[in-house]
């Protein structure tokens, strides 16, 4: 941030602002719009695409921007950009195609829709910033390969826990300490929460109930930890992670005692979480070192006796931090958090209630499924169903509550890009398409 702010100030002085096209105009997107328009130098929110353009217009209006034009073609959008005019549209592909857009910022949380947008943006050689752990956790590694071939940056964001964790992870590594656990601090985890139980909270904060449900039922944290694992090479110690529940208010520094040391010290390290610790909703990294001199200094600086040391950040500030990620991508070509290569951790669909043959699975944060982290090779070998692909699938046979779904349990909808990308990801990284039945391969 302390280099980024200076560069943004320089861009502001020279008038060469980073031009951003944002896809989405929901709760989080409106916050990002306000942050960019009112408080971020050197950056221009040139256009917002949303299926309801009136909501995109509202996102501008909430930031005091009333002079906004509706556009329906690339030419119209490019003319607005050239004139310094804000634009809204219901067609996100215009943002991907327009010459005047430097970065496409995807903020919908959808999977199939977002896959279409991201692939188009990459094909048009736009940097892509995703506030979308769901897409990243499902097909992020193959999207990263496409971005690399196109010579553009694809990244998830600061503000969301994964980006904040990755910043801390890089900082800890820079100290010469080896990170062995990357974690989230949660206040609640109940896999059976649904939009009905979360409706009151959602209404209070002006959010959508399924979004709030995905936080409460563990799906969101599973996606967030999966993309941290994919960016660091870490794994999960067991399906669903340990997730210790501690007395409310317990200091996070005590986390050095909550996880089996053999899981942390042997191997690439793990991603996990805890419930009840403070500061909530912060993030933490456990690290270790064998250097006797460093151990001496860490003890002097009140970090404890080892072998594990707890580093933490007390908050994540969601939309406030997103412009820093945009700037890092556009100015320095530095991804805040992106897959290293082969998938390390996936999020698999798990029945929230008994599922019956013939039912169609509803969306993330709804009534029928929740997500659990599992190591990617296990997911592939056992042909488990990624929850990012579960929406719209038809249940083929009865699945009891809390059972993880496999591809044999469902029929995938035909013709989806997300399935094709997932198939390509499996084949590229694991050498075979064993995760899909032959008839499914033919369908995608």
Q: Which sign does the torsion angle of CA 278, 282, 283, 284 carry? A: negative
Q: Which of 118, 111, 113, 117 is nearest to 155 (CA)?
A: 118
Give the model confidence (pLDDT) of 186-217 as tens digits.
999 999 999 999 999 988 888 889 889 898 99
Give the model confidence (pLDDT) of 219-269 as tens digits.
999 999 999 999 999 999 999 999 999 999 999 999 999 999 999 999 999
The pLDDT assigned to 129 comes to: 98
The pLDDT assigned to 205 comes to: 85
151 phi and psi, to 5 degrees?
75, 30
**What's the CA gap between 374 and 388, in Å, rounded?**
14
The pLDDT assigned to 444 comes to: 47
Residue pair 252/282 in contact by the 8 Å Cβ criterion: yes
Q: Which of 289, 162, 278 is nearest to 226 (CA)?
A: 162
Residue pair 364/210 in contact by the 8 Å Cβ criterion: yes
Could you tell me where the beta strands, DSSP code E, fall in 149-262?
154-156, 178-186
**What's the CA gap between 421 and 411, in Å, rounded?**
17
Positions of the chain with pLDDT under 70: 1, 433-444
The pLDDT assigned to 443 comes to: 52
Helix (H, G, I), strand (E, B) or coil at 102: coil
Q: Give the count of beta carbons closer than 10 Å to the beta carbon of residue 106.
A: 30
The pLDDT assigned to 437 comes to: 55
Domains of the chain: 4-158+320-332 (3.40.50.720), 161-316 (no CATH), 345-443 (3.90.1210.10)
The pLDDT assigned to 202 comes to: 84
The pLDDT assigned to 2 comes to: 73
Q: Is the pTM of this model over 0.85?
A: yes
Q: Which of 166, 170, 146 is nearest to 156 (CA)?
A: 166
Provide the 8-state DSSP code for 64.
T
The pLDDT assigned to 15 comes to: 94
Helix (H, G, I), strand (E, B) or coil at 358: coil
């Amino acid at each position: 941030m302390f280099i980024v702010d200076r560069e943004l100030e320089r861009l502001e002085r020279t008038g060469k602002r980073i031009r951003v096209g944002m896809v989405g105009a929901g709760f989080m997107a409106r916050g990002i719009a306000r942050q960019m328009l009112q408080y971020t130098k050197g950056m221009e929110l040139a256009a917002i695409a949303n299926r309801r353009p009136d909501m995109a217009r509202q996102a501008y209006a909430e930031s005091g921007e009333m002079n906004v034009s509706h556009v329906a073609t690339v030419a119209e959008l490019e003319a607005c950009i050239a004139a310094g005019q804000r634009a809204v549209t219901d067609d996100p592909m215009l943002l991907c195609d327009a010459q005047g857009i430097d970065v496409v910022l995807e903020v919908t949380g959808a999977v199939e829709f977002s896959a279409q947008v991201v692939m188009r943006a990459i094909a048009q050689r736009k940097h892509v910033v995703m506030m979308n752990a769901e897409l990243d956790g499902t097909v992020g590694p193959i999207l990263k390969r496409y971005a690399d071939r196109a010579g553009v940056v694809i990244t998830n964001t600061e503000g969301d826990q994964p980006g904040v964790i990755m910043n801390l992870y890089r900082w800890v590594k820079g100290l010469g300490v080896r990170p062995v656990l990357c974690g989230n601090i949660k206040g609640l985890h109940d896999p059976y929460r649904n939009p009905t139980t979360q409706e009151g909270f959602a209404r209070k904060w002006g959010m959508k109930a399924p979004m709030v449900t995905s936080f409460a039922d563990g799906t969101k944290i599973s996606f967030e930890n999966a993309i941290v694992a994919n960016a660091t090479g870490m794994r999960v110690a067991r399906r669903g992670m340990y997730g210790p529940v501690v007395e409310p208010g317990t200091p996070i520094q005590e986390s050095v005692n909550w996880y089996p040391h053999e899981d942390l010290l042997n191997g690439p390290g793990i991603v996990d979480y805890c419930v009840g610790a403070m500061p909530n909703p912060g993030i933490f990294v456990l690290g270790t070192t064998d250097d006797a001199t460093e151990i001496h200094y860490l003890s002097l600086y009140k970090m404890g006796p080892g072998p594990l040391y707890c580093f933490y950040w007390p908050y994540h500030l969601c939309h406030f931090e997103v412009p820093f990620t945009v700037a890092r991508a556009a100015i320095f070509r530095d991804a805040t958090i992106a897959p290293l290569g082969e998938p390390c951790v996936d999020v698999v669909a798990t029945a929230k209630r008994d599922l019956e043959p013939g039912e169609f699975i509803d969306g993330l944060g709804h009534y029928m499924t929740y997500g659990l982290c599992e190591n990617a090779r296990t997911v592939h070998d056992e042909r488990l169903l990624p929850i990012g692909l579960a929406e719209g699938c038809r249940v083929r046979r009865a699945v009891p509550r809390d059972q993880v779904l496999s591809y044999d349990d469902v029929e995938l909808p035909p013709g989806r890009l997300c399935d094709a990308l997932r198939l390509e990801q499996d084949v590229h990284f694991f050498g075979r398409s064993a995760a899909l039945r032959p008839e499914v391969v033919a369908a995608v």
